[in-house]
Amino acid sequence: MTDSISPDWFAAVAGWLASIDLLQLTLVVAASVLVLRLLVRLWPWLRRVVALVEALGTLPSFMERTDASVRRLRHQVEDDHERLHDELHEELHDELHDELRGELRGELGPDAGRAPGPDPERPAPTPRPRHPRRRTPWSRP
């Protein structure tokens, strides 16, 4: 695999090096040093530019994830709103009925609206089960 350097190639490089004078060599070295110093000074900014370009490349997937999260949260808020509306409606309805019964008993007496004794044919109504409280994703267990 290791081929010896051909004399033709060596002669071509030697001829090219012979045609360079000291001024050209000095200019090339000075220009390369200047470019290296400029790169060293601009390196932090270049890293920031590269990071910005990479961040812009991930922006569409970030937007899709954010939209999905917003849709999920909106759905959860709508469900919670409906559940709370139903629970509050039920509680207000019960409190209103209790208050009206209390007012009627105050006007008509303590036994107003009640039968003389418990009705054995009609069992007491069973209370409706409350909805279990769902945990929010940001609450701690």
DSSP label at 109? -
Percent of the chain clearing pLDDT 70 (strictly above): 70
| DSSP-based three-state secondary structure for 110 | coil
Report pLDDT digits (tens) over 67-101.
999 999 999 988 888 888 888 888 888 888 888 88
**Overall pTM surpassing 0.85 (yes/no):** no
| DSSP letters for 21-50 | -HHHHHHHHHHHHHHHHHHHHHHHHHHHHH
Alpha-carbon distance of 106 to 126, in angstroms, equals 27
Residue 133: per-residue pLDDT: 62
Residue 1: per-residue pLDDT: 44
Alpha-carbon distance of 51 to 48, in angstroms, equals 5
* Amino acid letter, 85: H
Residue 6: per-residue pLDDT: 66
Report pLDDT digits (tens) over 2-47.
456 666 877 877 787 788 888 888 998 999 999 999 989 988 888 9
Element (DSSP H or E) covering residue 71: helix 22-108
Sequence spans of domains, the chain:
17-108
